Amino acid sequence: MLIPGSNYWNVIHGAKPGEVLQDTEGVQTLQILGENMVWLLYMISGTRGNLDEPEKKVKQFMNFIR
């Protein structure tokens, strides 16, 4: 699983309509996240078919309570 990152937690704060735009740090964090998502999607589409997918494995379950 690929998870795009940003520069901090992916949250933005505001209580009333429009207040989130005043959270400049949150806005920047989500802009960076969006840019990284786009880049990751382009990388995935650009390499599809050029790389072998990993072999699927049967999930092994473990119960530590015995």
Closest CA to 7 of 27, 46, 66: 27
Q: Which of 1-5, 15-19, 41-45, 49-53 has the lowest mean pLDDT?
A: 49-53
Query: What is the three-class DSSP state of 26?
Result: helix
Mean pLDDT of 5-25: 93
User: Do residues 33 and 10 touch, judged by C-beta distance below 8 A?
Assistant: yes
pTM for this predicted structure: 0.72
> Would residue 41 count as lying in a domain?
yes
Question: Percent helix, strand, coil in the chain (nearest 5)?
Answer: 40, 0, 60
pLDDT at 54: 86
Q: Which two tokens stand for residue 30?
A: 């989500």
CA atoms of 48 and 66, how far apart (whole Å): 44
Output 41 or 65, whichever has higher pLDDT. Answer: 41
> Would residue 59 count as lying in a domain?
yes
> Would residue 33 count as lying in a domain?
yes
pLDDT at 31: 96
Is the pLDDT confidence value at 38 over 90?
yes
Domain limits at 55? 17-65
